[in-house]
Structure 1
């Protein structure tokens, strides 16, 4: 989001934070996701509620009439704040509600001391999709109903991942909102990581890192960047030896493959 929408998102987040403390976070996450999906499907509603020329109070009354008794009070108050705000583009209204649904899921995971699990599980599920094209095809198929996708994912993941992870993966599969599953998982992972203001580093190495190695690397990176760093580790035999770490636009490459490529570039120059 940019400009006006970014400022509006901050205002809506303040309202969300003021009501989320008393909410059932799982229910709040589900309801905000459902409202975002409603605004995506009903273009007239989205345009009307994001129309900056309409008085905020008028939009607030309309959305209360639409949703009263259908969602919890925290979800309703968050949605009211969203329709009262001004957005640079109409789609930013649904984007904001989806983002806050992810934040609610992350808060639920944190309350259960499972935020690290959710980060890891979202990352691993992305790798599962990459390795299973048939599964990816079914979950990406708009012709497959959301209910069928929920049943499939419940069978695959129930009791194997945190409840928040299952909710987020199911939400993304049922309502991708124009993104690939991989892009959606990356976006959700970034939002979850933000709950602790942590950076996310992607480590590629030829063999799995031991717990001690991972902890030492995370500590070194945290000290370097001045912020906590959560590591996602991807084993890739093509790196030959050593490891690389990608954090945002920064790449730290100590792999043998990277050194060979550097020598090739120097020779070519």
Structure 2
């Protein structure tokens, strides 16, 4: 998103959060209704362009949204009206922002139940389990396969052993990938959870397990660098000869031996 859209989303989040805190466990119902709005925007380019059109008065767009959502929860209607009154750099940012609020609604339910950490851990474990499952990942991204079948595959993988919110968001990402590969989409959800918990998540790839002391030292270094609490999640990769690959959000610090060797080869070839 460009600056205008980012500002509009930030304002929408600020309005939405008190609603979610008051809704508690019911917030997941609000999220499901917002997902329906996202689907409607994705399926109708003309509707999306109309509701994001800056040349149309905000009140007129809000009135249209209210008519379209006549049977929706008033809190959802108000949230969508706030979105359509805002300005967007691109019409697709409107749907993306509605989805963002919807995911936060599901996560707020887990938070109200004291299970947000559990959901975070379960999504991380799911993403790691899929790393070596190329055909499964391809299936979850293949929109020629019916959405219900892709969601059903997620159900088979989870086998009812996770928190309900984990299952809800995992199914949603499979049913409506919206152009994102499944593991990358899970990573995005992890970032949203980290934001809700007011911390960052560092994904550390290494050839051998870190000791508790090493993990604590690394976390302390990253916390000083980022100015907030950092959770360290580790991934074992036998192809990493030594060193660490650390990813925090979009930032990657690659200090593995293989990385340095590859860099040396590039320098010799140039």
The alignment's TM-score, normalised by the length of structure 1, stands at 0.87
Structure 1 residues 168 and 212 mapped into 2: Cα distance closer, same or farther (>3 Å)? Answer: farther
* Pairwise CA distance, 1:260: 5.9
Aligned to 1:54: 56
Does structure 1 residue 4 correspond to structure 2 residue 12?
Answer: no
Structural mapping, 1:58-77, within 5 Å: 58-69=60-71, 71-77=72-78
Report the count of equivalent residues.
267
Q: CA RMSD in A?
A: 2.5
Gaps of 5+ in 2: none
SS at match of 1:239: coil
Map residues 10-49 of structure 1 onto 2, 5 A cutoff: 10-23=10-23, 24-49=26-51
2 CA distance for matches of 1:259 and 1:137?
Answer: 31
Query: For 1:160, what is the secondary structure of its paired residue?
Result: coil
Q: 1: CA distance between counterparts of 2:226 and 2:16?
A: 30
| Alpha-carbon displacement from aligned partner over 1:173-217 (angstroms, at most 9, x marks no partner) | 111112222332222222221112322211112223355653453
CA contact (8 A) 1:46 1:91 kept: yes
SS in 1 for 2:161: coil
Residue 50 of structure 1 deviates from its aligned partner by 1.0
TM-score by length of 2: 0.86
SS at match of 1:75: helix
TM-superposition CA deviations, 1:8-37 (whole Å, max 9, x none): 112222221232223212112222122111
Inter-partner Cα distance in structure 2 for 1:268 and 1:152: 46
Q: Structure 2 vs 1, CA of residues 218 and 110 (structure 1 numbering), >3 Å: closer, same or farther?
A: farther
Is the aligned partner of 1:91 residue 2:97? no
Distance 1:4 1:263, change over 3 A: closer
SS at match of 1:230: strand
